[in-house]
Amino acid sequence: MKLNIQLFAVPDHRVSKTRKRKRRSHMALEVPGMVKCPNCGEMIKAHRVCPKCGYYKGEAKLEVNEEE
């Protein structure tokens, strides 16, 4: 019995640069649920008291030591 195995060169450009990049556009890590604090403009986690100024929904909820 004759084994009919053939080895082919794998084409270099089967997937175009554009298709490759479009596919990989979904591979980036992202930081979820970040939002800009309406009081101080710092990027903070959504639905949480701002650690920078201690504000949440327009009220001071925490006392923050301002040493800077």
Q: Return the SS3 of 44.
A: strand
Q: Return the SS3 of 2.
A: coil
* Binding residue (CB under 5 A) for Zn ion from 13, 23, 53, 59: 53
d(CA 32, CA 5): 49
| 22: phi then psi, degrees, rounded to nearest 5 | -65, -45
**Residue 37 interacts with Zn ion (CB under 5 A): yes or no:** yes
Shortest Å distance, C-beta 32 to Zn ion: 19
**Residue 50 interacts with Zn ion (CB under 5 A): yes or no:** yes
**Residue 49 interacts with Zn ion (CB under 5 A): yes or no:** no
Q: Return the SS3 of 18.
A: helix
Q: Contacts with Zn ion: how many residues (CB under 5 A)?
A: 7
Interface residues toward Zn ion, by CB under 5 A? 37, 39-40, 42, 50, 52-53
